[in-house]
């Protein structure tokens, strides 16, 4: 009798644990593929796929975003949909971080280049 009670308790605990795990939402994959697709289709014409193309004033998008305290707000001018901005930021964030590190050799200048 004691054995049956122990087995029943064990099964109940396992069942409750599995039910709790199944109800937790899974985290979305933290890849920037959807954001990259949006960026390439809507932004890369002017900024290149890696956002590093120099603009007429000598700056580039990565440099502007790297220097901004709220880079997502800068994207709001062209990307009106919040979900699109979030997806694009997931894609751009590693590029922004890389551009902020001096050893990366990033070309993310937000300052215009003056001729010498």
Residues 111/60, Cβ–Cβ less than 8 Å: no
Token pair 């964030």: residue = 93
Residues 6+ apart with CB under 8 A from 82: none
Where do the domains of the chain lie?
Answer: 33-101
Tens of pLDDT along 26-44? 555 557 899 999 999 999 9
- The set of long-range contacts for 51-55, using a CB threshold of 8 Å and a minimum separation of 24, is 51/92, 51/95, 52/95, 52/106, 52/107, 52/108, 54/113
pTM of the predicted structure, to 2 decimals? 0.62
Determine the Cα–Cα distance for residues 58 and 66; give it in Å rounded to an integer: 15
Architecture of domain 33-101 in CATH?
Orthogonal Bundle (1.10)
How does the average pLDDT of the chain come out, rounded? 81
């Amino acid at each position: 009798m004691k054995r049956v009670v122990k087995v029943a308790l064990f099964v109940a605990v396992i069942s409750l644990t599995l039910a709790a795990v199944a109800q937790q939402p899974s985290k979305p994959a933290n890849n920037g593929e959807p954001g990259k697709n949006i960026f390439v289709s809507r932004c890369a014409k002017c900024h290149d796929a890696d956002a590093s193309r120099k603009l007429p004033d000598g700056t580039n998008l990565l440099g502007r975003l790297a220097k901004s305290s709220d880079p997502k707000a800068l994207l709001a001018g062209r990307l009106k949909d919040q979900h699109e901005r979030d997806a694009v930021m997931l894609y751009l964030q590693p590029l922004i971080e890389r551009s902020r590190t001096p050893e990366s050799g990033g070309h993310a200048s937000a300052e215009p280049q003056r001729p010498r």
